[in-house]
Every structure is written in C-alpha cells, then in structure tokens.
Structure 1
Amino acid sequence: MKHYNRENYSRYKKDLDTSTRLIEGKFWDEYTREELIIKFMPYAEDIARSFSVAEKVCGILSIEDLIQEANKSLVSAIDRLDFDFMNPNDDYEKQIKGFISKRIRGGVRRAIDANRGDIRIPEYKLTEMRKSEGKDRKLVQMFFNSIFLSIDDKIDQSSDKSFEIEDKPDGYNIVLLNKYILSLMQKHLNDREYDVLRLSFGLDCDKMPAKEIAKLLNIQGTADFVRVSQIKREALDKLIDSVEPEDVLDFIN
C-alpha cells in the first residue's frame, strides 16, 4: 500500500464514525440525501480498497485518492437513487448497495484509467530482447508477455528479485503502445481473436471479464468463459508465431 497521510485519514474516520452514530436507527424513508451518503461512505471505502494500489496499476493515485473517487461516485449514485423503483418486499440496504456498487467501481476505474502511468518493460527484459538481435523467436514472446502481463497486473514482483533492478528507460506512452499492438492484432488475427484480446486487456476500451465478453461476442456454451480464455491464449500464441522479431526490435529501440 502506498503511504498516505495517516493523521488526516484518522480524523476523517473519527468524523465519519461520529456522523454515522448520529443517524442510526432511522427508517429508510427518513434518511436525507446527506445522511444516505454518510451511511454508505464506509461501503464506498471498502470498494476502493478492493482495487490494487500498485504503481503500474494506479499510476499516481494513492489509497486516499481511490477513497475520494469512490465517495464522489457514491454522491452521484445517491443523487440518482429512486426509492419508487425499489421492491418494498426486498431488503432496501441490499438493493441500494447493488445500485451504488456498480457506479462506485466504475468511477474508481475511470479515475485509474485517467491517471495510470505509462507501461514499462523492465530493463533486464529489454536487455535480453536487444541481445537477441532479432534472431530468436523468444524475443517476440518476451515482448508480448511483458506487455500483456503489465496490462493485466499478474506479475508478482515480490517473488522475483530481478524486479529490484532499476528501471531506467522512459515508459511507453500507453496510447501509442495500444495503437501499435492493435495494428499487429489487426494484421495477424481474425475478428473474434482480435475482439477477445482487445476486450480482455482493455486496449481501446474498458477491460471486460470473460463472461461479459462471451455474451457480447455471442460465444455460447456451458463454459463460455473458458472458451474466451482459450481464444485469448490462442490469439496471443498466434501473435507470437506471426510477428517478425524485427518489428519488435524497431519498436523497443
């Protein structure tokens, strides 16, 4: 977790705890707009804390920033809340949480996307790529694995001491990098492979889970999300087999 101002956070938590106790015991139709916001601020913080605060994921944002973005989205969600559309026979709190959670997560994700830092390939990987001089097909594999692992945040830096090496080169502009990868995908993949890879990693859109991709692309079956994962893997393997090492060298040099 990134460092944040503990004194300010402690003051915020005390104020919130005091305000929350003052509104306890009310019926749902008795809450004012401000009281509803206060009541669900702890829930918004829980959602914010579910996001990774690793630098390559959130860029310059700290946990305090994520909590702030979550609370901003909470306010917007409460303003759109309409009790007339709720089921009076169902749990009101459950219905409200279901309504606001999607909007809070969406707001935090948009803030992360807007403030995420440039993608970096570790220096030791760049050195390996350059030493191959385009003669080794593993160059292409290292390039795509480094890029997609960076986007998908699946690298466990704590388990690999090589990540302690100082990362000296400038990061790649994420917009230009995405355009470059998309151009390679358009050249070497079919439409379904292209869409699955693009949506899975959010190259020009928000990242989508496998089940939503299956529904969007009409990939049917009892294990449709598994099929999406297979297509994603096949598409990546196809890129590795099809892209010329010289193309990758031209890009990273």
Structure 2
Amino acid sequence: MECSVVDGEELLGLLEELLGAVGLGVLGGAGQVEVRRRDEQVLGLGGRERVAHEAVRLYLREIGRWPLLDAEGEVSLARRLEAGEAARLRLAVADADERPGLQGLVADGIEARRCLIQANLRLVVSIAKRYVGRGMLLLDLIQEGNLGLMRAVEKFDHSKGFKFSTYATWWIRQAITRAIADQARTIRIPVHMVETMNKVLRAQRQLVQELEREPSVAEVASKVDLSPERVREIYRLAQDPLSLDSPVGEEDDSHLSDFIEDLRAEVPGDVAIRDLLRLAVSEALDHLNERERDVMRLRFGLDGEGEVHTLEEVGRAFGVTRERIRQIESKTLAKLRHPERSRKLRDYLDDD
C-alpha cells in the first residue's frame, strides 16, 4: 500500500517515505479533513500548526489499526525475520532447485519485518511526545524515531530473552536525541554537550520546584557537580540565536543589527589621525640613512606589517651582532630626538 498525501498538504508528506517503507497509507476523506479544519479555525490554530495537527491525527488513526504483539508474537516474527535474512545470504550460492524455497523465506522475512515495525509504531509516538518543544516538530520527531525503530528491528536478538519494546526504546530514544542535537539548532552543538546541557537545565527546573524561586548558578552547579563557570557557559550555549535581520518595533523599518555596536569598525577621525601619524613618521625617517631606516622599521614594527623584532632577529637579518644593532638603534633614536625632526611627532603624544 503506498502512502498518500491528504489534499496535497505539505506536512503530510513528511511521513510519506517511512509510511511507504512499512506499507502504511493515510485514512480519512477530504470531507472529514475539511470539517476538522473549520473546527480548528474556530479554535484559532495557525495554518502550519493546523496542518501538522491534522497530519498527526491521521497518522495515529492509521497506526492504531495494527494490533500490539505479545512476547510470543514478537519471538515468532523475530524468528521469521532471522530465517529470511539467512535465506537471503544463501541465495547467492544456491542452486536452481533451492532458490524457490529460499525466495519464499526471504519474502516471509520481509513480511515479518513489516509486521514487527507496524506493531511498534505507537511506541515511537509515545516516546517522541516526550521531546516536543526541543526545536523539532512532532512529525519530525516521529520520523526520526521510526528510523530508530527500523534499526532496532535489524539488531534485535530474540534469543537473549528481552522484550522487543524494551530493546527498541533505546534505539528510538537515541535516534530522536541525536536528531535534536544535529537539526534542532542553527549552530550545531556536539551530542555529548547537548546531554550535559539537558542535565543542567533539568536540574534547574527541579530546583525551581523545590525552592519556589530561580536557583543561583552556584546552586545549580552544586546539584550537577560542575563548576559555576561551566554552568554559565552551558546557559550561554542554551540560548537560541537571534537573526541580525530580526525586525525591532511595530513598523518593521528597524532591525536588530541597527542597534548593535560593531567594535571592529573604525571611527573616521581615528583613521585620519593614524594616516597623518604614519606620514609624519615616514618624513622623520627620511632624515636617516638606509641602514638606520631599516633597523628602525624592523625594531619598532614600522615596516607596514606592525611586527616588532628583537635585537637578535634584526642582527641576523643584517649579519651583525645584537650589540651592533643596539648601538645603531641608540644612535638613530638620538638623531630622531632632535627638535627639528621630532616636532611633528610630539603633536601626537598625550598631554600627560
């Protein structure tokens, strides 16, 4: 049975691939959908939320058709699936006489896999509901949980004596939590950090209930056995990013970026003063010979790159000792201190 999209609504297609993989369709006629839409318009639901709500309703009704399994039924399906997988591997080397029987076992294993998945789709929904409000729609959470369920079916070993639902719960939770860590945030945060963040936020909520007030950073840090600095960092990471293009005010003619200072931007007056200072330094250096100019540029970062070099480094560049460079530097600075050469530069010194 192929999965269909009710009335062409976009969000109903979110489960199309997974529903098709397990042979599910979507129930409900156009008339029923339209009646519910009118009811929801009265309740004030938005367009996107209304479609998502209807999609979940139809999906829950569809998966409710499939009966739950007892322990015996789970083991029976798991054995059929196991036999089908073994037959699939044998098909590659089987002769013509064996192939029909093996193909039958493969088909039966595929059917058993479908039945095991269908019978546990409600488990996925019950787990996905616990993660609503963490940055992903319920439909997306269900979709990721279904992927985890399919993985659990592939890995399940009935011979260990565990119930399939107990085993599948871990895989479903893992798939959902990893999806939240990877997709829910604009800036991805590593999975281990998301787990720590959830631990801190959970402790904060517990303390709010116990203390009947907002707990301090130190109180939260003590409860989760982390340093206060680490908790502050986690609080910062937990904040949702804001777009610089977010409108501010009711007129929508101002944006958040208009009110944030750009610390990297240079004040035009400072740029002009720096250019004049660079020109004055260049004029002062013109009174020196070439070697003295080069030594000054390297020692004080006047070569345009702003990198200051040690006496040792300058000495290696000129092939002389560091003491000789120190002598040249001392002599050159004495020249530059002459009132005629230093007059323009003194104007840029602080009054202090």
Q: TM-score, normalised by structure 1?
A: 0.43
Q: TM-score, normalised by structure 2?
A: 0.32
